[in-house]
A and B are shown apart, each in its own frame.
Chain A
Amino acid sequence: MTFRLDVIWRELPQFVHGLGNTVWLCAVSMALSLGLGVLFVVPLMSRRPYVRQAARAVVDAGRCVPFLLLTYLVYYALPSLGLSLDKWTAALITLVAYNTAYMAEILRAAWAHLPPGQTEAARAFGYTGTALFRRIILPQVLIAVGPVVGNQLIQLIKDSAFLSIITVPELTYAANSVQSFYFVPFESFLVATLLYWALCGGVEYLVRRGERLAAVVRRGHGH
């Protein structure tokens, strides 16, 4: 077989466009779900059992649906309830809903594993409630979760390929269009794979930087 580099070269803009869409969809949904995860982690760590259990049920419901199925639900099933979404909105909602459940759980685990001393010291110094969370707990949690959030971002980038099913022109969709138009599946999917590798490699690099910061903070716990 001949490697059709010429086709790839000609269709490069389509790949770049697809990659761009993958990047912004994942970046925006990651930021949104991290923010929502922060809101969700508070009831997850509530002292009141019924609040905690209700939050846990919602989070588990989100984590235990296959991403593809969630995409179908949002894009194909919601219209029968009278709620039609365009593919971009559906894509974002699916990514954010799915990922928020994971973010909340990641943040909860990090919070639960914080050494209790720093929080206790904050209480002794007059902190309570929101100020305690915002000034003392959350910063430590966010630094600690850096590497795990990075891994979750890689997961999200890979899951986003399912969005090609609802014709969102992201990277996998672009690769699929090129291969079906020119009958070059090997070339096209190989290029897409390389681009996913590069993207995840970049995230991986940031994760390692974050891991160093997290290590500094762990060491600062003084144990």
Chain B
Amino acid sequence: MATDPVPAVELCGLGKRFGDHEVLADIDLAVMPGETVCIVGPSGSGKSTLLRCINWLERPDRGSVFLHGTRVGYRPSDVGDVLMSDGELAMLRTRIGMVFQHFNLWPHMTALGNIIESPVHVLGRPRGEAIAEAERLLEKVGLVDKRDVYPAFLSGGQMQRVAIGRALAMRPEVLLFDEATSALDPELVGEVLAVMKDLARDGLTMIVVTHEMKFAREVASRIVFLDKGRIVEMATAEAFFEEPATDRARQFLERYR
């Protein structure tokens, strides 16, 4: 079935410390193209840090990140792998989309402005083409009528859907979701999850940090359960939720029943 043997994202022996505190240790994970991997676990287990290490918003202390076989943060040279320049890292980041907990839309731009900003100014796509694509994306996330509205006048759910549109406009090879619904009022969570489900169905490669167990169960190809900075369990959604292999996971899931 899988014809592409190269993972979209591969983490090898990833580790990260903040001072004395070991946030991540020995993380090995391969996400294949088209997979939706949900990362779950208690608060402070390192889920967000893991995600942020993938695009090097957080620089890992140990281990490597590969994006379709290309090492993130380093480039090969005669003397082995050397650190990428800011510019090289920036260009690599354009291949990885990201959706943030607090949306982080640019408040001085309209919904459309937010979506076309990076395609035009970073990737150098023609403006007209970017606008046409942005309009298509606004339709996809159900916000055509908010095209010219500034973030201040959008609800949290609408802001997050614009943020998803903004990420998709870069045509990323993988899309990272960092607790995309945690900052939303409960009644607005559904509209964002619906868009995310659509994307998973379309076959977009997604890595999703989430507390929405129902969503994870429905959508995830695999679940990664993280605790104290380590992968404790990795299984299909069905296996993880029906028969968690570890006590730690069972305890964790108890709280969601």
Contacts and interface: CB of A to CB of B under 8 A. Distances in A.
Among A125, A140, A217, the most chain B Cβ lie within 10 Å of the Cβ of: A125
A135 interface: yes
Interface string A207-223: 00000000011111111
Contacts of B79: none
Interface in B112-141: 117-118, 121-123
Interface residues of B, number: 33
Contact of A131 (B93, B108, B121, B183): B121
Contacts of B100: 117, 120-121
Nearest to B178: A124
Interface string A141-155: 001000000000000
Interface of A, helix, strand, loop or mixed by DSSP = helix
B122 A222 contact: no
Interface of A: 117-118, 120-129, 131, 135-136, 139-140, 143, 216-223
B238 to A, nearest CB: 32
Among B90, B103, B108, the most chain A Cβ lie within 10 Å of the Cβ of: B108
A124 B166 CA distance: 12
Contacts of B152: 216-220
Given A126-B91, A135-B117, A216-B152, A121 B108 contact: no
A123 B58 CA distance: 11
Given A125-B122, A126-B94, A135-B121, A118 B104 contact: yes
B11 interface: no
Given A121-B98, A124-B96, A140-B108, 6 more contacts: A118-B107, A125-B94, A128-B87, A139-B108, A217-B152, A222-B183
16 contacts: A117-B104, A118-B104, A120-B104, A121-B100, A121-B104, A121-B105, A121-B106, A124-B57, A126-B91, A126-B93, A129-B86, A140-B107, A216-B107, A218-B107, A220-B152, A222-B151
